[in-house]
Amino acid sequence: MQPALIIDETANGSQRRIPASPTFSVVAPVYNEELLLPEFCRRMVAVLESIGEPFEIVLVNDGSRDRSPEIMNQLHEQDPRIKVVNFSKNFGHQLAITAGTDYARGQAVIVIDSDLQDPPEVIPDLIQRWREGYQVVYAVRAEREGETWFKKVTAAFFYRLIDRITNVNIPVDTGDFRLMDRKVVDAISGIREHHRFMRGLSVWVGFKQIGVPYKRDARKAGETKYPLRKMLKFAMDGITSFSYLPLQLATYMGFVVAALSLLFLIAVFVLRLAAANPDPTTAAFYGQASTLVTVLFLGSVQLIFLGVIGEYLGRIYDEVKRRPLYIVADALGFEDEKK
Ligand code: UDP
Ligand code: MG
């Protein structure tokens, strides 16, 4: 058993200079996928062998609690081109992808889910575009099979919202399934922000980009690791990483409420002058009700915006703590590398 190795900003990313030997690296995050791993590797190896160039498959075990680690071990023993990075605990999908791209040495790195929702058979199409000179080739979900209606609607809404409000043009209906050139991978590895929205970062770095449509399959076995809670956090990470709009909304809202208050003031003034002698009980009732509604309304708006500020503040706090993005317990198949 190797001692736990702490990966920090300077130990990898753009700082790591390792000769890139294989042409292709496939990076797949794995969290409790014992049912699918052998099939995933079998299909992946078949596709990559048909291309006929050196490759490696980097499986990142994101703290799985099922038999995935043992299965990954076996797969590595049978085929040393299958390499394994074991996290010390669950750090999340986006950080598993980050670790995989940090360890990958290929000239082109392909990020793909390990649950076979992204068919490995699409990879030759991505490679074709890369050979034409594109440096980021992202796969666009033209069709989605076997997803719940709720997931499809929320995903469609989210991709369109993020396209609207952020200042990077993240293509609609793309996930993390994509091919990135070595230059792009190095650029992204150099970015060490914590709440990573990888599909946004890979657009933000620039370079020549293109989409390839594909049909996203249903999950073959197991269940989604993205319950609603994680989906919401993921959405917030995406929005806060690339947009200040939620913060600016407070300003716009302030102007609107100020304008309405002014109108209200004028109305009260006019009514006061016009009304001869209002019945004192009715006047008191309306006065009370309007005060209460105004106070509650403004109070809740302020609480909401405090929460929005909190979302950004918490993320700033996570950055200033400068903790490592992930901790690797051990890695198999990278022995030839000098870190
Ligand atoms: N995954 C991971 N860590 C997590 C959650 C998910 O590495 O904390 C992996 C998972 O094994 C899969 C990919 O990320 O390969 C996508 O997850 P999932 O299929 O559950 O998401 P969905 O496709 O339902 O959005
Ligand atoms: Mg999936």
What's the pLDDT tens digit per position in 6-39? 444 444 444 444 444 799 999 999 999 999 999 9
pLDDT at 271: 80
Task: Give yes or no for residue 62 CB within 6 A of ligand 1.
Answer: yes
Task: Give yes or no for residue 96 CB within 6 A of ligand 1.
Answer: yes
pLDDT at 17: 43
- Taking the mean position of all CA atoms in its chain, how far away is CA 187? 17
Q: Is the pTM of this model over 0.85?
A: no
Name which of 88-92, 216-220, 334-338 the model is least confident about. 334-338
Which amino acid appears at position 9 of this protein?
A: E
| C-beta of residue 162 within 8 angstroms of C-beta of residue 238 | yes
**CA–centroid distance, residue 36 to ligand 2 (Å):** 11
pLDDT bracket for residue 327 (50, 70, 90):
very high
Cα–Cα distance for residue pair 102/147, rounded to 1 Å: 31
**CA–centroid distance, residue 188 to ligand 2 (Å):** 23
The alpha carbon dihedral of 170, 176, 211, 17 has a sign of positive
Residue 161 in this model has a pLDDT that exceeds 50? yes
Two structure tokens written together for 239: 């929005």
Which residue has the CA at smallest separation from atom 14 of ligand 1?
93
Report the CATH fold assignment for 22-242+324-332. Spore Coat Polysaccharide Biosynthesis Protein SpsA; Chain A (3.90.550)
Task: Count other Cβ atoms within 10 Å, centred on residue 187.
Answer: 20
Two structure tokens written together for 77: 């023993």
Out of 93, 151, 159, mutate this one to test ligand 1's pocket (max ligand atoms within 8 Å of CB): namely: 93
| C-beta of residue 160 within 8 angstroms of C-beta of residue 172 | yes
Cα–Cα distance for residue pair 54/81, rounded to 1 Å: 9
pLDDT in tens, 50-98: 999 999 999 999 999 999 999 999 999 999 999 999 999 999 999 999 9
Mean of per-residue pLDDT scores for the chain: 87
Which residue has the CA at smallest separation from atom 25 of ligand 1?
226
Cα–Cα distance for residue pair 17/26, rounded to 1 Å: 19
Task: Give yes or no for residue 31 CB within 6 A of ligand 1.
Answer: yes
pLDDT bracket for residue 276 (50, 70, 90):
low
Two structure tokens written together for 138: 């992202």
**CA–centroid distance, residue 43 to ligand 1 (Å):** 18
Ligand 1 closest atom vs CA 33: 11
pLDDT at 282: 67
Sequence-distant (6+) residues with CB within 8 A of 269 are none
